[in-house]
Structure 1
Amino acid sequence: MAWQKQKSIQAGAGGGRFVDGYLAYLLAQASQRISAEFHLQVRAAGLSVTEWRVLASLEGSAGETIGTLAVLAITKQPTLSKVVQRMEAEGLVERTGVRADRRQTRVCITTKGRNLIAGLCEQALQHQKAVLAPFGEERAALLIEMLEVLMTEHVPLEMATAEEGED
């Protein structure tokens, strides 16, 4: 049914809006709506959305460079640098130098940061479970797998630009 709707839109028939079948728009709308629901809990915990994304991205990681963390946290690097500086002052993260490149720093989550988001990570998983419930386990797993493939196939612009400059 949805595929027929897509074909109809592509053919210009049916008078539907272009965006009603446009993947990038649908992904952005779904992300915004789903995230907005959970971000209420993030703010209630006293964190900004960017702080949550930073801590969630660092949880389970050995640390990330500011550039990689900016991509993971969906934040511009200059903005992220200021946020990380503030979070470091609060004891939520720590920065260390990268041996291979002294210009870079690696950001790691601290025990205080980990303790702060432990409950939020559990709430995030419960929220995800509720969002995916209408699909059933098999289709939900397939959706996540397909999104992971899309992300693998389409490198973030910031990373592509940085890699081009390294040649």
Structure 2
Amino acid sequence: MAQSERFVDNYLGHLLGQANHALYKEFDERVRAAGLSPIEWRVLATLHDGEPLTVSQLAREVLSKQPTVTKLVQRMAEQGWVEMRADAADQRRTLVAVTAAGRRVVKPLVEEAKQHEARILRALGAMEKRTLRQLLEKLVAL
């Protein structure tokens, strides 16, 4: 008797989770070897080449809760990787920016991440890569 197909085998959430795990499982070891936790990596990777973000914006970007990110950026500020400052447009908001020290920590990892992603996606053609990115961007925008 043939085994019936399991629900999770075609469930998009499961497939996306499996793809995420495949992409990060090896790279996560490099992040930890560099002395960063996965969330610290996400914070520095998010901030390293962009404008400062509010804590709430940063929490959304790194897929974490605001209180967790607030505590995290306070610790990262103590380490000198980020700085927190009042938003000139609204003194009630706090902006988080990467420091030069934070950039030095994250820059080699960003380069490694690009190489790692290229290795993982080598099995896909250029059109498939483009389509995959477009579809994922579309899902994220929902």
Could you state the TM-score of these two structures normalised by the residue count of structure 2? Answer: 0.93
The AA in structure 1 aligned to 2:14 is Y
Shift of the alpha carbon at 1:138?
Answer: 2.0
SS in 1 for 2:35: coil
Amino acid at match of 2:65: K
Displacement of 1:88 in angstroms is: 0.3
Q: Which residue of 1 aligns with 2:64?
A: 75
**Match of 1:36?**
25
Of residues 22, 32, 40, the one that matches 2:11 is 22
Q: Secondary structure at the match of 1:85?
A: helix
Q: Distance in 1 between matches of 2:91 and 2:16?
A: 38
- 2:34 matches 1:54: no
Query: Deviations 1:1-29 (Å, cap 9, x if unpaired)?
Result: xxxxxxxxxxxxx7211111111111012
| Cα shift at 1:51 | 0.6
Superposition deviation, residue 111 in structure 1: 0.7
- 2:125 alignment partner, SS class: helix
1:160 equivalent in structure 2: none
> Which residue in the other structure is 1:112 paired with?
101
1:88 corresponds in structure 2 to 77
**For 1:29 and 1:68, how far apart are their aligned partners in 2?**
26
Which of 1 and 2 has greater Rg? 1
- Deviation, structure 1 residue 100: 3.5
Structure 2, unaligned runs of 5 or more: none
Q: Distance in 1 between matches of 2:40 and 2:62?
A: 9
Rounded to whole Å, the distance in 1 between the matches of 2:115 and 2:57 is 27
Greater shift in the superposed pair: 114-123 or 75-84: 75-84
Equivalence for 2:34: 45
Q: What displacement does 1:63 show?
A: 0.7
What residue number does 1:123 align with?
A: 112
User: Could you tell me which of 121, 127, 138 is aligned with 1:132?
Assistant: 121
Length, aligned pairs only: 140
Q: How does the TM-score come out when normalised to structure 1?
A: 0.79
Provide structure 1 residue ranges, at least 5 long, that are not aligned to the other structure: 1-13, 154-167
- Partners of 2:69 and 2:30 lie apart in 1 by 21
